[in-house]
Structure 1
Amino acid sequence: MAEALAVEPGRDVLGSVDAYWRAANYLSVGQIYLLDNPLLREPLRVEHIKPRLLGHWGTTPGLNFVYVHLNRIIRDRGLDLMYVTGPGHGGPGLLANTWLEGSYSEDYPEVARDERGMRVLFRQFSFPGGVPSHVAPEVPGSIHEGGELGYSLAHAYGAAFDNPDLVVACVVGDGEAETGPLATSWHANKFLDPVHDGAVLPILHLNGYKIANPTVLARIPHEELDALLRGYGYAPRYVTGDDPARMHRDMASTMDDVFTEIAAIQRAARSGGVGRPRWPMIVLRSPKGWTGPSDVDGVLVEGTWRAHQVPLSGVRDNPEHLALLERWLRSYRPEELFDDSGCPVPELLEQAPTGTRRMGANPHANGGLLLTPLALPDFRDYGVLVGQHGGSSSEPTRELGRFLCEVVRRNAVSRNFRIFGPDETASNRLDAVYDATAKQWQAQLLPVDEHLATEGRVVEVLSEHLCQGWLEGYLLTGRHGLFSCYEAFIHIVDSMFNQHAKWLETSKKLAWRRPIASLNYLLTSHVWRQDHNGFSHQDPGFIDHVMNKKAEVIRVYLPPDTNTLLSVADHCLRSRDYVNVVVAGKNATPDWLSMDEAALHAARGAGIWEWAGGETGDQQPDVVLGCAGDAPTMEVMAATALLREHLPSLRVRVVNVVDLMRLQPDTEHPHGMTDREFDALFTRDRPVIFAYHGYPWLIHRLTYRRTNHANLHVRGYKEEGTTTTPFDMLVLNDMDRYRLVIDVLDRVPGLGERTALLRQRMSDARIRHHRWTREHGEDLPEVRDWTWPY
């Protein structure tokens, strides 16, 4: 971190800072209200006002205030600094500031820094075909969607990991501070390494109100708030008031103090100092809607919840409101701030940093500019040897851990890869990575602790929200990562996934946004092997949630064995701008495919296992057994073996699906199959029994347009679960091998009457299983010890 002597800003400097703040506020109000007449060159009339008034004013002047003062710090100290904003819809402020500093016009030349460009800036805000009211991918310098609250501080810390020269200033809104994810995020300082990581400066913005209610942190006594923040491990500084002149002096002095302290902390740590530092933070207490109308129609507005959105909502119908809006806009003295062409006057231009030091042009906020490919080993070197199909077994995630260990080693110098998870790396059998790295931890260490160190490539905390937020911040600033989680509890971040997927969807449409590394989920300890933990741990529905997003960004993989998982993992770590969901078991699974076969199968995404069904020649199969997922594959293979044993003349085709998107039409997803491809695999008219890892209706949703959909019968998880044995979970949900055989007998024409005895035997096996588990507490030996016999 670059240093400079702390100086007391002079009156002229703060006067220029105030002018810049007034300009940002003027531009922010203009975006909410004005359709035309951006510089008020004529009296304001109704036709100059937007027909629909949208946006949020309340938090904006505070965000502008912080931005302006950070500009001064960047200029004075030559800092590399990012700005992350948490308070709701603060979009007008960030758009105003990036336009003022010129970074916005560089990305959008049609919005130049002149009167015409200002008109476009105003018109496009919350307007059809324009830009959102919150900070979004369209805003230069942003890595954070402001439309949903709770994630700003986690994103800020994720951005700071492995960026030792970066400071991330993060404004936390007092409404946002009431959310669970943000409340947990305060603890991220226990994971930030002052030697190898950058710094995060939290700025808690207390303006007192949410949409309609007061905020908790603004209404507790100062002593209680101070104790809370110190208890989190911070050293808070306070800037409080409503008088701009005094607030500018206080903020400038406080900023100098905290940045000097940050530099001192890093210098001490990097010189061999030990111990977790108490990082500084700022608490800014200012009125909501600061500098806006103090009252409207005799009702107090400034400093209340009424300033949250549009303080003057009747300007098109009420002449008094229109006049009040004009007085409000002119109170910023725009004639002093913009020249005749509409460009900011030189005094303002000089206040902004230059080049990539501008927060809107910081390359970390467009992480693809900094992204370098991972140095990856050949995944084939970590595969298991397969003498014959299904003749051996291995634990897929344990072998994946060996591969990830080497990924960590090869990228140790570049420091651009991390594994995040909620206390489950070892539980998910990825613990081979500890041969190459420790878990990062800055809090107290005890002799009994294992694999903890002040620096590590694994970051664990028992908050899925925090893991997700860290990873998003890490990816969005140009690095790579993996999130490993129990399948049932990844739902905790459903909404965070939504926001990231929407970010990717939008950023793909922006030419200036560079591709970033994909967000990779490894979901294990999955529904079919959570028999010991019971019903609460049994939920495969995250896949359904993910599938609602745009095809351009979503990929779902269900590798059936270890070698296929390794191939899929290699592909995901190389990919860009996707959300990759990989579901794989950690328990021993048959090794179905050699490494060469697995790599080909993963690349194909779906294919016939001709060695499994015993198809010969060019005859059509009598039945197709499809499967997606490791447990469904096991049951389909076991059902196929039973059919080959008892009905050797029956022509069975086994189709395994690794890439779930292959089931969709090619018109719906880039990985989708054409109708001819799909019909070639699943036939146009034969019964298809499909065993699927998750809820069965998803397969119907993906295939409902296919020619043979009427003959498709899907088995999957039916929300039947309890604490039981692995096979009993399958029986409870009618996806066991015996049930699949019965499905074949019931659906292949002509088999029903001829195979009544076999059907009875399959039903009896299910009954025997039930009795055995209730007596012995484990699965039938014929199930537990089954191996592929062919």
Structure 2
Amino acid sequence: MSSTETLTQPPTEDFALLDAYWRAANYLSVGQIYLLDNPLLRKPLLAEHVKPRLLGHWGTTPGLNLLYAHMNRVIKARDLNTLYITGPGHGGPGLVANAYLDGTYSEVYSAIDQDESGMRALFRQFSFPGGIPSHVAPETPGSIHEGGELGYSLVHAYGAVFDNPDLLALCVIGDGEAETGPLAASWHSNKFLDPVRDGAVLPVLHLNGYKIANPTVLARIPEDELAELMRGYGYEPHFVSGDEPFDVHRQLAATLDEVLDTINAIQHNARTGGSPERLAWPMIVLRTPKGWTGPKIVDGLPVEGTWRAHQVPLSETRTNPEHRAQLEAWLRSYHPEDLFDSDGRLIAELQALAPDGARRMSANPHANGGLLLRELVMPDFRDYAVDVDHPATSSSEATRVLGAFLRDIIAANPDSFRLMGPDETMSNRLNAVFEQTDRAWDAQTVPGDDHLAPDGRVMEVLSEHLCQGWLEGYLLTGRHGLFNCYEAFIHIVDSMFNQHAKWLKTTRHIPWRAPIASLNYLLSSHVWRQDNNGFSHQDPGFIDHVINKKAEIVRVYLPPDTNTLLSVADHCLRSRNYVNLIISGKQPALTYLSMDAAIAHCTRGLGIWDWAGNTDGEPDVVLACAGDIPTLEVLAATHLLRQHLPQLKVRVINVVDLMRLEPDSEHPHGLADRDFDALFTTDKPVIFAFHGYPSVIHRLTYRRSGHHNIHVRGYKEEGTTTTPFDMVMLNDLDRFHLVMDVIDRVPSLGSTAAVLRQHMADARFAATAYTREHGEDDPAIADWTWPSAAAGV
């Protein structure tokens, strides 16, 4: 903020100009929904001037336009750096209209000039084949999220202002959106906002009373109850309401000046060493009619101020002359002849109301975060390598080692990297980060609290929605981060992941959108080592969900040990415009590859582990694995085969980059068929031990010529509170079962291996009996390592 002084209200004549600007935005919004031609109504409105399919949402749009016009005033008066974030993103025509009015739209889309022909093109493209979506979308300048799904505006706003001390996020929250779970939790984000180093969020709860067909909860509770609710969340509410435009203009202008002065005072107090007490941030409750300034009555039924104004108030305007006449009257009520000149340009007096350059909310560089993105200062991940003298003979905790790497990334990037997680940073063994930083916390602290501070870089709250939303807002405005979570519960943000992946997919094809840092997930406490928590904590299905998305966006990594995890993490944190899913265990586990070997393996994405197999030529069977526990079981099974069937030629393949299994025609990381066939063969049985659901591997490989030979073992929805090895046995992923699979599928073995097969079945029974008697796994199984002599070293 540039000043802590109270600004007086604009004089009455300025309200007339401000109201005219609002009318211009409303006119352009209605035109986008309805018109194909005759954009300035130079002639009577005819059927051919109206779109055949009417799509869009009018109900929330006039309120969005009202706030936009008023924010333009205070931005100019105070030189504010402001993002405009809209929860009711279906008010898309309003945000497009305002970007057009301030000139940004024509700057990024040169074919849509600020004249009559440009206005025609603006109207024609909206919700039209080959045009733009009806929601606030990546194509909309000034936007940082897709507005089709509700609930994420406030959490994105907070994510945007973290480490942006001069940024104000004006966040409009629709009263329908306010009913969603993510939005309800988002109000608590103010307890994680540091007024010294972070910017400010000004929430505006826009009450227009209705959703698609029902009233909204917050619009139907008494005002004093709503005020207490907001105060309980830690805000000081300011109410603006009415349906007479100039009265609302006066209220809103005065209120904006008051709340901006309060924000300035809070920040000034914090930044000059004032009282450390957390103060109540202001918020605004704006109550205006739904579909304000639109048709009041249609076909004898009330529209303005009712649910009928939600989408398209006048239907069939091409075929219904009465409705078309109402539409023309509605458009003319804004007096476009007073707003636009003879060429169709906004008149100079109104152009002057918009801010200039990057101060325009539609041109704010934080809404195109790649423009502000700085490379992470990265320590050399090789410096954190664990020693591996012989494969599978020593152990380490992969995520604990990664924690030290993240600690030093935080130290080197004190204002551009954050670690998010739902109260699981310690549980996921990333403890080392607390040697450098604390948990962000601006609420009450008591003796015994651990690593809580307003300026902490670790953000923990028991809401996966908030973790995801904060990180999205942080990334979209040009910073970096990592979200660590229990594997089973990342599903809570399935829909948020969907929306972000769709955003990335779309922005890749918008030239003026600069690439942003990738969204990086680290899932630990995974399905195979949730034996203490049981069935409720066992679900590897987020992999399935991720690979549904466009191949150019998603990457899935299953590093089998510590050094491969370090290599993968370094790669992902440096990447742009992807969603990277990394799955790694946190328990002590065998290490397989030296750092140099790990880098080579991760670069390939998959490869033959010749030290584990016993053939340099054509194998009799391929044992493949993806994931740390499947890798362990495959290696143990391979060792058993080499002991008992030394004549059997076994090839072991480990997959770290799951998308390598797809053909190169389907995914940028995919293997060419000839390379896949060379590795997996076209005619030999492949036993594939997989971290997740077996169908994933079949889905990725079904085009391969040898697909009919691939037999996958993975998670099959069997689990409970039990021991680690019992867990893999419940799902037939254990080493003994893998040996049995080999015997069943290698034709040359036939009945000659019947005795070994029986021994393997007996070993399973014995392992189960041991756990039932002792409550832990047989040490011969739990402590298994690869005999160094067999490793050929």
Q: TM-score per shorter chain, which class?
A: over 0.9
What stretches of structure 1 of length at least 5 have no aligned partner? Answer: none
Q: Out of 643, 646, 655, which is 1:645 matched to?
A: 643
SS at match of 2:158: helix
Q: Out of 336, 340, 356, which is 1:334 matched to?
A: 336
Residue in structure 2 matched with residue 410 of structure 1 by the alignment: 412
Residue in structure 1 matched with residue 314 of structure 2 by the alignment: 312
Which amino acid in structure 1 is aligned with residue 776 of structure 2? Answer: E
Residue in structure 1 matched with residue 47 of structure 2 by the alignment: 46
Q: Does residue 470 in structure 1 map to residue 503 in structure 2?
A: no
SS at match of 1:481: strand
Residue in structure 2 matched with residue 718 of structure 1 by the alignment: 716
- What is the deviation of 1:444? 0.4
- What is the deviation of 1:729? 0.9
- What is the deviation of 1:88? 4.1
- What is the deviation of 1:774? 1.1
- What is the deviation of 1:315? 1.3
Judge conservation of contact 2:475–2:519 (CA < 8 Å) in 1. yes
Q: Does residue 127 in structure 1 map to residue 125 in structure 2?
A: no
Q: Give the 5 Å matches for 1:204-223.
A: 204-223=205-224
Measured in 1, the distance between the counterparts of 2:170 and 2:422 equals 26
Q: Does residue 378 in structure 1 map to residue 376 in structure 2?
A: no
Superimposed CA distance per residue, residues 701-742 of structure 1 (whole angstroms, 9 cap, x where no aligned partner): 100111111111000000111111111110010000000000
Residue in structure 1 matched with residue 693 of structure 2 by the alignment: 695
Which amino acid in structure 1 is aligned with residue 158 of structure 2? Answer: Y
- What is the deviation of 1:633? 0.1
Residue in structure 2 matched with residue 358 of structure 1 by the alignment: 360
Measured in 2, the distance between the counterparts of 1:588 and 1:623 equals 30
Residue in structure 1 matched with residue 704 of structure 2 by the alignment: 706
Q: Scaled by the length of structure 2, what TM-score is found?
A: 0.99
Q: Out of 291, 294, 298, which is 1:292 matched to?
A: 294
Measured in 2, the distance between the counterparts of 1:194 and 1:518 equals 27
Residue in structure 2 matched with residue 457 of structure 1 by the alignment: 457
SS at match of 1:755: helix
- What is the deviation of 1:411? 1.0
SS at match of 1:520: strand
Residue in structure 1 matched with residue 179 of structure 2 by the alignment: 178
- What is the deviation of 1:298? 1.4
SS at match of 1:260: helix
- What is the deviation of 1:299? 0.8
Q: Give the 5 Å matches for 1:486-565.
A: 486-565=486-565
Judge conservation of contact 2:488–2:537 (CA < 8 Å) in 1. yes
Measured in 2, the distance between the counterparts of 1:121 and 1:767 equals 71
- What is the deviation of 1:785? 1.4
SS at match of 1:109: coil
SS at match of 2:611: helix
- What is the deviation of 1:154? 0.3
Which amino acid in structure 1 is aligned with residue 298 of structure 2? Answer: V
Residue in structure 2 matched with residue 202 of structure 1 by the alignment: 203
Residue in structure 2 matched with residue 154 of structure 1 by the alignment: 155
Residue in structure 1 matched with residue 678 of structure 2 by the alignment: 680
Superimposed CA distance per residue, residues 338-379 of structure 1 (whole angstroms, 9 cap, x where no aligned partner): 001101000110010000000010000000000000000000
Measured in 2, the distance between the counterparts of 1:291 and 1:495 equals 35
Residue in structure 2 matched with residue 609 of structure 1 by the alignment: 609
- Bigger mean CA offset, 63-72 vs 643-652: 643-652
Measured in 1, the distance between the counterparts of 2:2 and 2:507 equals 32
Judge conservation of contact 2:89–2:146 (CA < 8 Å) in 1. no
- What is the deviation of 1:752? 2.3
Which amino acid in structure 2 is aligned with residue 626 of structure 1? Answer: A
- What is the deviation of 1:276? 1.1
Q: Out of 662, 665, 671, which is 1:664 matched to?
A: 662
Q: Could you list the structure 1 runs, at least 4 aligned residues long, displaced by more than 3 angstroms after superposition.
A: none
Q: Give the 5 Å matches for 1:42-81.
A: 42-81=43-82
Measured in 2, the distance between the counterparts of 1:752 and 1:341 equals 86
- What is the deviation of 1:317? 2.1
Superimposed CA distance per residue, residues 540-565 of structure 1 (whole angstroms, 9 cap, x where no aligned partner): 00000000000010000000000000
Measured in 2, the distance between the counterparts of 1:505 and 1:14 equals 42
Q: Give the 5 Å matches for 1:222-371.
A: 222-273=223-274, 274-371=276-373
Which amino acid in structure 2 is aligned with residue 175 of structure 1? Answer: G
Superimposed CA distance per residue, residues 661-719 of structure 1 (whole angstroms, 9 cap, x where no aligned partner): 00000000000000011011101111100000000011001001111111110000001
Judge conservation of contact 2:68–2:98 (CA < 8 Å) in 1. yes
- What is the deviation of 1:87? 1.1
- What is the deviation of 1:7? 1.5
RMSD: 0.7
- What is the deviation of 1:584? 0.2
Residue in structure 1 matched with residue 432 of structure 2 by the alignment: 432
Residue in structure 2 matched with residue 598 of structure 1 by the alignment: 598
- What is the deviation of 1:139? 0.2
Superimposed CA distance per residue, residues 726-767 of structure 1 (whole angstroms, 9 cap, x where no aligned partner): 111100100000000001111111212101110000000001
Which amino acid in structure 2 is aligned with residue 676 of structure 1? Answer: R
Judge conservation of contact 2:6–2:258 (CA < 8 Å) in 1. no
Residue in structure 2 matched with residue 87 of structure 1 by the alignment: 88
Which amino acid in structure 1 is aligned with residue 690 of structure 2? Answer: Y
Measured in 2, the distance between the counterparts of 1:457 and 1:603 equals 30
Residue in structure 2 matched with residue 481 of structure 1 by the alignment: 481
Measured in 2, the distance between the counterparts of 1:559 and 1:580 equals 13
Which amino acid in structure 2 is aligned with residue 469 of structure 1? Answer: G
SS at match of 1:402: helix
SS at match of 2:539: coil
Which amino acid in structure 2 is aligned with residue 296 of structure 1? Answer: V
Residue in structure 2 matched with residue 12 of structure 1 by the alignment: 13
Residue in structure 1 matched with residue 189 of structure 2 by the alignment: 188
SS at match of 2:654: strand
Q: Out of 389, 392, 396, which is 1:390 matched to?
A: 392
Q: Does residue 102 in structure 1 map to residue 100 in structure 2?
A: no
Which amino acid in structure 1 is aligned with residue 651 of structure 2? Answer: R
SS at match of 1:611: coil
Measured in 1, the distance between the counterparts of 2:277 and 2:642 equals 66
Q: Does residue 636 in structure 1 map to residue 663 in structure 2?
A: no
Residue in structure 1 matched with residue 577 of structure 2 by the alignment: 577
Residue in structure 2 matched with residue 400 of structure 1 by the alignment: 402
Measured in 1, the distance between the counterparts of 2:545 and 2:346 equals 47
Which amino acid in structure 2 is aligned with residue 323 of structure 1? Answer: A
Measured in 1, the distance between the counterparts of 2:318 and 2:571 equals 56
Measured in 2, the distance between the counterparts of 1:83 and 1:138 equals 15
Which amino acid in structure 2 is aligned with residue 681 of structure 1? Answer: L
Which amino acid in structure 2 is aligned with residue 298 of structure 1? Answer: G
Measured in 1, the distance between the counterparts of 2:184 and 2:316 equals 38
Superimposed CA distance per residue, residues 70-116 of structure 1 (whole angstroms, 9 cap, x where no aligned partner): 00010000000000000140100000000000011100010111101
Superimposed CA distance per residue, residues 286-308 of structure 1 (whole angstroms, 9 cap, x where no aligned partner): 00000001111211100000000
Which amino acid in structure 1 is aligned with residue 498 of structure 2? Answer: N
Measured in 2, the distance between the counterparts of 1:743 and 1:276 equals 62
SS at match of 1:459: strand
SS at match of 1:484: strand
- What is the deviation of 1:390? 1.1
Superimposed CA distance per residue, residues 281-335 of structure 1 (whole angstroms, 9 cap, x where no aligned partner): 0000000000001111211100000000000012122211111111100000000
Q: Give the 5 Å matches for 1:728-747.
A: 728-747=726-745
Measured in 2, the distance between the counterparts of 1:54 and 1:636 equals 55
- What is the deviation of 1:5? 4.1
Superimposed CA distance per residue, residues 426-462 of structure 1 (whole angstroms, 9 cap, x where no aligned partner): 0000010001100010000011101111111100000
